[in-house]
Chain A
Amino acid sequence: MSAAIEFRNLSFATPQGRLLLDNISLALPEGSITAILGRSGSGKTTLLRTVNRMVEPTSGEVLVHGSNVRDTDLIKLRRGMGYVIQENGLFPHFNVERNVGCVPETQGHPRAARIRRSHELLTTVGLDPTSFARRYPHQLSGGQRQRVGLARALAAEPRILLMDEPFGALDPLTRAEMQDMLRKLLHRLKKTVLLVTHDLDEALYLADRIVLLEEGKLIADLDAAEFLSATQPEIQSYIRAFHRGERAVEQNANQAAGTPNPSETAK
């Protein structure tokens, strides 16, 4: 019962019969930060979306705080979870303040309280309310939009945060800033987080557990340190694809400075 999210023998096939999730069982403890890693099409987004029932599994079940999501009121279930996606999905006709406060708004909270809460959250995600609250999404940079998206996801004080490639569309520097902000925030907030990413570095930096999916199958469920030292070929190929640039530069430098190649001296 201590698991915040639990997948039991979960499978999902498209109506065309393509198996996207293949018998996945996994339990995520309350307060844990789990990264779901995998290449495009591995089923990681689908897995995430079964939690808030944006996808209904073909078989198996998803439990949230011990109760089957299928038996939970859909609206209540979704309002209890923050949701952040790569395209941010901010409402273009709402200003930042109203975007952030939109879940409390749908719950009928009074306007003054919503605005107070929304300003508080903007500060939390590193945006000054006095200059950002009244702006519209198209007046923001990509990173700022993601911050607003994150603030909106936190507005109803959800215990669970679902994030699908939240920083996937950002440049590396902005992404690093966002990761720093999120890392600090998550350590403070103690929420159960499910983070979908294809970036091993991001997974290691933010999560305490890494789940690897491949073709809908669960390949590994390890903590970050275990993951790096694991010998499974699927994990190894992931690690090999990581920091390649650095290794290449190192190799080139060694070649240039090191012992001259004997075949070249022979010429």
Chain B
Amino acid sequence: MSSGFFSQYGSEMVTLTLEHLWLTASAMIFATLIAVPAGIWLTRSPRWARPIIGIANVLQTIPSLAMFGFLLPLPWLGEHAARIAIVALTAYALLPILRNTYAGIRGIDPSVIEVARALGLTDRQRLIKVELPLAASFILAGLRTATVTCVGIATIAAAVGAGGLGEFIFRGVASVDNRLVLAGAIPAALLALIADGALGLLERWLQAPAK
């Protein structure tokens, strides 16, 4: 890519990257706020685990372009492309977070949970002092998977006009301009790698004290 390309598209690249980041970050915040408490609740009522995780699984299998299409005609969502994008991305991020929260807590050594109960920790204390810290690296691994998935899928959001780096890709495909495709794809890939790396470091740091 020549310097002429950057002078022409540079500022737009920054805007679209920020847009991309904003879509992904909002979706991740919503997904975390939904899936972590839901995962905790499932560990308390395990008979719901299969159906609920099943639903999240089905959401995950919907092709992303179709998902954006489905949401388009909905009243409140359809008015705003960014809303559609955030809802769709949230839906995709649910499964990994939900599954890992559930599995992370269920995977804790049962004797640890048993003693926590027998020593008179309240349910809340058991959750905050024992279960969440012990499942933290697992939950974070779920967040990591979800983030990388979202950064990728967010490129499709441009199809419904929600912006983000997909904008360049779609434009590049339409005008058979590989430079434009790359101008979208490379920053998107870098975003995914950076997010993955940062969360990976956090995961390692959380894991350090316990074994």
Contacts and interface: CB of A to CB of B under 8 A. Distances in A.
B120 A106 contact: yes
Contact of B120 (A78, A89, A149): A78
Interface string B104-137: 0000010110111111111001000110011000
B122 A75 contact: yes
B119 A152 contact: yes
A102 interface: yes
Given A75-B122, A106-B121, A136-B210, A92 B114 contact: no
Interface stretch (A31-39, A79-87, A243-251): A79-87
B50 interface: no
B58 to A, nearest CB: 32
Given A106-B125, A136-B209, A91 B118 contact: no
Contacts of A185: none
B115 A93 contact: no
B130 A91 contact: yes
B211 interface: yes
A52 interface: yes
Interface residues of A, number: 29
Interface string A127-171: 000000000101000000000010011000000001000000000
Contacts of A83: 115, 118-119
A214 B111 CA distance: 25
A50 to B, nearest CB: 12
B210 A93 contact: yes
Nearest to B210: A93
A88 interface: yes
Nearest to B119: A103
A240 interface: no
Interface string A103-138: 101100000000000000000000000000000101
B120 A92 contact: no
Given A85-B114, A93-B133, A136-B210, 16 more contacts: A54-B114, A54-B117, A74-B120, A75-B120, A77-B120, A79-B120, A88-B115, A89-B109, A89-B111, A90-B112, A91-B134, A92-B210, A92-B211, A106-B119, A136-B209, A162-B118
Interface of B: 109, 111-112, 114-122, 125, 129-130, 133-134, 209-211
